[in-house]
Amino acid sequence: MKAAVVIGTGLIGTSVALALSRRGVTVYLNDINGSAALTAEAMGAGICRLPDETVDLAVLAVPPGKTSEVLAAAQRAGLALAYTDVASVKARPYSELDSAGADRSRYIGGHPLVGAEGSGPIAGRGDLFEGRPWVLTPSAHSNQDVLNRVLELVWLCSSVPVVMDSRDHDSAVALTSHAPHILASLMAGRLAEATEQSLRICGQGLRNAVRTAGGSPKLWGEILEANAGAVADVLDAYATDLAQAIKALRALGNANPEECKQAADLLDEILTRGNRGLIRVAPGSGQHDLARVPAIIPDQPGALAELFAAVRDAGMNIEDVRIKHSSDRPRGFVELFVARASAVKLSRLLDDAGWFAPASPPPAVEPGPGA
């Protein structure tokens, strides 16, 4: 790829331009907000004008509701041989291409999955996409040459290409991004009216949970509108779950012990299912998939503390410990729970330190005890 145009120099567009520029691609920048384009230019993202000749690729970094219109205009101007975009909604914008007069064969939808901080060109970073998935949604109309140009863009940005059907993509982001955005906004919205005293005691957990609610209402309004059906479907499912949870909480104070028990069981099921879901997106959360490594501790003061220190110094995290309760001081038989990946390393360390540990692979998985 020799030259590219980036249309829309917000956070994502500027980051694409920075990534391409530093790989030696000549990048032309364009934005309806001239100030944003000039800022991107000042950051070294490219040249703030349209190219004189047709370039290899045009990247549209505009809101999803603008994709078809901007694509048609860019194609009429003959800007590039191939076109892609970076919007987080793919199906509806694609369905609008024909009526907008765009050529579907020269376009393949794209969506780099990045968790960006800030907004505008000034927040752009050339390494934003490194190692992140970049979804491509080619259709039956897509041209192979166009696909290869877009794949080269993804490679130049050091991203991992993932090909998906546009509707599957939109359902997936509804579940993993758009619906959670609404829930975060609702949670944060209730804080807008809370008393000062309530907020004084809020913790980091809440901040993390609602941080995404800080996104631009204008941009998010456009995203949610473009994916409204899929998002509403996910939220319907949440609403059903939420109604169940509320019913269970109200029933906990119930005089009928049978109903009370059922409510507690339902609540436990909700919490346990949450554990299971979290582990799928954040492996290593909770006390799951741990390996148990036994050790015999010499009968001398401070031996156990010494063991803990040695394990920590070796860069391992002890997730849990069980000490055999045989006398009034800690000694004797101990079981250490660590991530499975650390188990062999820990066994060796225990051997080297003179604490007995089995030389063979550690015993099978056993979940550690609860909190």
Stretch that binds a second copy, among 16-24, 102-110, 228-236, 351-359 (CB under 8 A): 228-236
Nearest approach, Cβ of 145 to a second copy (angstroms)? 26
The region, left, alpha or beta by phi > 0 then psi within -120 to 50, assigned to residue 191 is alpha
Tell me the C-alpha distance between 3 and 181, whole Å: 36
Tokens of 216: 């631009």
Candidate list 76, 95, 211, 341; residue touching a second copy; CB under 8 A = 211
Give the C-alpha distances (Å, rounded to integers) separating 346 from 181, 293, 331, 367. Answer: 41, 8, 19, 18
Q: Which is nearer to a second copy, 276 or 340 (CB)?
A: 276
Q: Do the beta carbons of residue 133 and residue 108 sit within 8 Å?
A: no
Angle at CA 295, nearest 5°, toward 289 and 299?
150
What is the footprint of a second copy within residues 246-265 (CB under 8 A)?
A: 246, 249-250, 252-253, 264
Q: Is 10 in the site for a second copy (CB under 8 A)?
A: yes
What is the footprint of a second copy within residues 100-119 (CB under 8 A)?
A: 113-115, 118-119
Q: Which is nearer to a second copy, 151 or 270 (CB)?
A: 270
Candidate list 100, 151, 219, 344; residue touching a second copy; CB under 8 A = 219
Letters for 303-332 (x = contact with a second copy by CB under 8 A, - = none) are: -xx--x---------xxxxxxxx--xxx--
What is the footprint of a second copy within residues 156-175 (CB under 8 A)?
A: 162, 164, 168-169, 171-173, 175
Stretch that binds a second copy, among 13-21, 39-47, 99-107, 358-366 (CB under 8 A): 39-47
Tell me the C-alpha distance between 354 and 368, whole Å: 25
- Counting residues that bind a second copy (by CB under 8 A) gives 133
Other beta carbons within 10 angstroms of residue 12's beta carbon come to 26
Q: Which is nearer to a second copy, 77 or 278 (CB)?
A: 278
Q: Is 229 in the site for a second copy (CB under 8 A)?
A: yes
Candidate list 207, 261, 340, 348; residue touching a second copy; CB under 8 A = 207
Nearest approach, Cβ of 193 to a second copy (angstroms)? 8
Which helix (H) or strand (E) segment is 367 a member of?
Answer: none
Stretch that binds a second copy, among 17-25, 94-102, 230-238, 340-348 (CB under 8 A): 230-238
Q: Is 224 in the site for a second copy (CB under 8 A)?
A: yes
Instruction: Please report the sign of the dihedral spanned by the C-alpha atoms of residue 148, residue 151, residue 153, residue 158.
Output: negative
Q: Is 300 in the site for a second copy (CB under 8 A)?
A: no
What is the footprint of a second copy within residues 175-194 (CB under 8 A)?
A: 175-177, 179-180, 182-194
- SS3 label, residue 128: coil
Other beta carbons within 10 angstroms of residue 154's beta carbon come to 21
Candidate list 105, 259, 261, 274; residue touching a second copy; CB under 8 A = 274
SS (H, E, C) 258-315: HHHHHHHHHHHHHHHHHHHHHHHHCCCCCCCCEEEEEEEECCCCCHHHHHHHHHHHCC
- SS3 label, residue 73: helix
